[in-house]
Amino acid sequence: MKRIAVIGSSGGNLYNLGGKDPDKLIGEIAAQCHGAGIEIGAVQFIAASESMDTAKETTAAVLYAWHPDENRLIKQAEGSLKEVNEAAFGMDGEMAGLVGSGKIDGLIVMSADPEGANGRTIQAAAAQAIPVVGTGGTSMALIASKGANVIATSGTTGTTNRTRAVSFMTSLCKHWGIKFVPVLGSPGGSKLPSGKPWRRINLKGIMQSSLPGFIAMAIVLALSQIPALKGLSTVFDIMLKALPVVLAVIAAKQIADLDEVSIVAGVIAGTLSMNGGIIGGILGGIGAGLLVQFLFVKCVQWRFPMTTVNIVAGGFAGLISGLIMYYLVAPFALQAGEWIKHLINLAISFNPIVAGVIGGLLIWPAILGGVYHAAILPIVLLEMEKTGNSFLGAIDMVGLVMVSAGITLANLIAPRDKGEAAVAAPGFLINMGFGTFVEAAYPFMFSNKWVFGGAIAAAGVGGGLVGVFQVRGTAYVPSFMGPLLSNNVIGFTISMAAALLLALIITLVANKASRSRKTSDRNLSAQQSA
């Protein structure tokens, strides 16, 4: 039987997508491991009480370990984040010993700290060449740079506990030649949900999870521009109306967490919330989720048959929330969305070039500061609701994805050190092939201030060109598809190419200067020694 170890933390973006509930997050991994006949040998997981994007040393945190006999998480240490990190550092040595002695066959990593609390484990994994899978753009890039055998990596946007666990296990089983069928259903069987449901309301998580629906709509819109496929414009109109349903289902599922019951409630509420746009869909889904939780618990307490519990919780919750939205809230929700889009269009129409430059210059600080997923992505989706593409979405593709691609390409062509080319290659391919994983540029940006400044400058220039051509587009799609999904194919292509080439040139110059400095230092040292 293969044995794996799980290391990491509740993370920044991961916190909003399952990281704040370690039992559920690790429980899903345990369920998929059980289905594959794989054993969890050890866990070292740091759970903070808030996102790591905003956490401080004084933030409350818990260090979890694994109880092998009971197959569950146990608390190893509790206190401030600083204290928990110190405890984790000690535990890292034990974990590294297990890996180094051959007792661990694979590693699952989620928002880890490869230069701190998980450093020795990563070094041992690299030495043993065991397969490593995980999420967390910055940490996985650093892990790969340390020589670890990373066989699968991704960001966290748009993922869930289940999709991550299935992805991890699929990659590991394929590597080992083990047959794997994903385990579906609630891990451990059905049980009453715990916690206060309103605490699980997370607008950022709802928006991120709905992103595939918006991308699908953008693809349909682009295809409908082809003369032979004009009939797809009707499909686009249908999908536009369906977006509130998608958001309502995600909101209800996120809050109630009762699988199919939550989904049914979300569909009903979302259908009745269509007139409120995506804001209406979110509000309808939140209402349905809260009511599902309340009605489900009450019906169980009243000893209703489980079938009746599902009917009441799913059907009545969706209906009540949906009717409130339909008759009372939907017009105001729609107007709120229109006001936001109007303000964006007003800024663009006032001076699109200035708007593009400002957007480009701020896009990297926004993602590095943890603001992107909280503020920019929701605005992108609000824009896409109306037109199928977005001004800020175009800046995302140009200022983040293409700039990251340019930086990683430069480190493929002429890296500062030979080992950096291997780190840059996956990042470049993912950026170009999937329109995401901009975090691949972080190691190069953080280690060279000229590359960092060049990234911001290239994003500013690219954003300015987006303004010049008044492009509306989207990221999260293959780079060659980006222009095809925009309102200006040539303008978007020029903007993307300019940002990539500028980032490429600046990084090449910075790398050459760095290599020259190192050569001079070595020569000077040799002369002094002589």
> Which one, of 496, 455, 446, 472, lies nearest residue 362 by Cα?
455
Q: Mean pLDDT over residues 247-252, rounded? A: 92
Return the pLDDT at 445.
92
Least confident range from 130-139, 182-191, 244-253, 411-420: namely: 182-191
Higher pLDDT, 82 or 528: 82
Residues 6+ apart with CB under 8 A from 470: 348, 352, 391, 487, 488, 491
Return the pLDDT at 409.
95
**Residue 193 lies inside a defined structural domain of this protein:** no
The tokens of 1 are what? Answer: 């039987």
- Computed over every residue of the chain, the mean pLDDT equals 85
**pLDDT single digits (tens) 275-299:** 888 888 899 999 999 998 788 767 7
Q: What is the DSSP string of 284-348?
A: HHHHHHHHHHHHHHHHHHTT--HHHHHIIIIIIHHHHHHHHIIIIIHHHHHHHHHHHHHHHHHHH
- Output the domain CATH number for residue 22: 3.40.50
Going by the DSSP 8-state scheme, the letter that residue 7 receives in this structure is: E
Return the pLDDT at 189.
40
Task: Give the pairing of strands 72-80 and 106-110.
Answer: unpaired
Q: State the residue range of the domain holding 259.
A: 198-340
Percent of the chain with pLDDT over 70: 90
Return the pLDDT at 295.
86
Least confident range from 187-201, 456-470, 475-489: namely: 187-201
Return the pLDDT at 194.
43
* pLDDT above 90: residue 101: yes
Return the pLDDT at 337.
67
Higher pLDDT, 496 or 158: 496
Least confident range from 27-41, 130-144, 360-374, 479-493: namely: 360-374
* pLDDT above 50: residue 170: yes
Higher pLDDT, 301 or 319: 319
* pLDDT above 50: residue 274: yes
Considering its fold, how many domains does the chain have in total?
Answer: 3
> Which one, of 440, 422, 448, 420, lies nearest residue 517 by Cα?
448
* 30 three-class SS: helix
My answer on whether 150 and 210 are in the same domain is no
* pLDDT above 80: residue 204: no
Q: Mean pLDDT over residues 455-463, rounded? A: 95
Q: Mean pLDDT over residues 66-82, rounded? A: 90
Query: Phi and psi for 451 in degrees, rounded to 5?
Result: -65, -40
* pLDDT above 50: residue 193: no
Return the pLDDT at 135.
86
Are 54 and 25 in contact by the 8 Å Cβ rule? The answer is no
> Which one, of 69, 72, 70, 68, lies nearest residue 23 by Cα?
72
Return the pLDDT at 526.
67
My answer on whether 370 and 255 are in the same domain is no
- β-strand partners of 422: none
My answer on whether 336 and 356 are in the same domain is no
Task: Give the pairing of strands 3-9 and 106-110.
Answer: parallel
My answer on whether 396 and 437 are in the same domain is yes
**Residue 246 lies inside a defined structural domain of this protein:** yes
| Mean pLDDT comparison of 55-64, 302-311, 520-529, highest-scoring range | 55-64
**Residue 504 lies inside a defined structural domain of this protein:** yes
My answer on whether 23 and 159 are in the same domain is yes
Q: How many CB atoms are closer than 10 A to CB 267?
A: 20
**Residue 453 lies inside a defined structural domain of this protein:** yes
> Which one, of 341, 218, 349, lies nearest residue 278 by Cα?
341
Which of 118, 143, 176 represents a domain boundary (last residue)? 176
Assign 330 a pLDDT band (cuts: 50, 70, 90). Answer: confident
My answer on whether 406 and 448 are in the same domain is yes
Dihedral sign for Cα atoms in the order 125, 131, 135, 138 = positive
**Residue 527 lies inside a defined structural domain of this protein:** no
**Residue 530 lies inside a defined structural domain of this protein:** no
**Residue 345 lies inside a defined structural domain of this protein:** no
**pLDDT single digits (tens) 25-57:** 999 899 889 888 999 999 999 999 998 888 898
Q: Which helix (H) or strand (E) holds 1?
A: none
My answer on whether 58 and 138 are in the same domain is yes
Cα(439)–Cα(442) distance, integer angstroms: 5
Q: Which helix (H) or strand (E) holds 136?
A: none
Q: DSSP strand E in 398-480: where?
A: none
Q: How far apart are the first and last CA of the chain?
A: 58
Q: Alpha carbon of 127 to those of 41, 113, 148, 231: distances in Å?
A: 19, 18, 8, 57
My answer on whether 42 and 130 are in the same domain is yes
My answer on whether 426 and 482 are in the same domain is yes
My answer on whether 170 and 241 are in the same domain is no
Amino acid letter, 215: I
Which of 340, 370, 399 represents a domain boundary (last residue)? 340
My answer on whether 372 and 495 are in the same domain is yes
Cα(320)–Cα(284) distance, integer angstroms: 9
Cα(336)–Cα(280) distance, integer angstroms: 10
Return the pLDDT at 192.
37
Which of 176, 209, 234 represents a domain boundary (last residue)? 176
My answer on whether 330 and 360 are in the same domain is no
**Residue 188 lies inside a defined structural domain of this protein:** no
